Amino acid sequence: MPDTIHVLNGPNLNLLGTREPAIYGAATLADVEALCRAACESHGLDLVFRQTNHEGTLVEHIQEARGACGIVLNAAAYTHTSVAVRDAIGGCGVPTVEVHLSNVFAREDFRHHSYITPVARGVICGFGPQSYVLGIAALAAGRTKPA
């Protein structure tokens, strides 16, 4: 478990590949998962990869990541709305990198505020699926190695 990274995805990310491709690109969520799996393997880490359209389920996915070495979280629209998701990250004690496919700061004003950022280690956005790969690399680099 300490050598596991949980990559957790929020609402509408199951539609990647067909959803607003001019913004989110052509890669599907399965493509993103394959990239994450290869990235984790290259760092000697196991991967748990999950997606939900439901806020409470995302909270449960975060709670189930307790004891893991890191979370890469794309909370999607819940980034901008959810105190519950923020509290789950704040409470689970797992280093978390917030990621977004798009550059949220180059988009509508309502996407400029994140409830997650204050409880995250850092934020990576704007690099498409590579945002996830960079998030995994950041967590792997900061990992506390067992004695």
Residues carrying an active site annotation: 24, 100
Distance CA 123, CA 142 (A): 14
- Considering only 29, 77, 123, 137, the residue that binds ligand DQA (CB under 6 A) is 77
Cβ atoms 39, 7 nearer than 8 A: no
As measured in angstroms, the least distance from the Cβ of 30 to ligand DQA is 16
- Considering only 104, 116, 136, 138, the residue that binds ligand DQA (CB under 6 A) is 104
Q: What is the DSSP string of 78-109?
A: GGGT-HHHHHHHHHH---EEEEESS-GGGS-G
For residues 108-127, which are near ligand DQA according to CB under 6 A?
A: 111
Q: Is 25 in the site for ligand DQA (CB under 6 A)?
A: no
- The stretch near ligand DQA (CB under 6 A) out of 29-37, 42-50, 59-67, 99-107 is 99-107
Residues in contact with ligand DQA, counted by CB under 6 A, come to a total of 10
Cβ atoms 89, 63 nearer than 8 A: no
Q: Is 8 in the site for ligand DQA (CB under 6 A)?
A: no
* Burial class of 116 by CB neighbour count within 10 A (0 to 12, 13 to 18, 19+): buried
Cβ atoms 50, 75 nearer than 8 A: no
Q: Is 130 in the site for ligand DQA (CB under 6 A)?
A: no
Q: Is 28 in the site for ligand DQA (CB under 6 A)?
A: no
**For binding to ligand DQA (CB under 6 A), which residues are involved?**
12, 74, 76-77, 79, 100-102, 104, 111
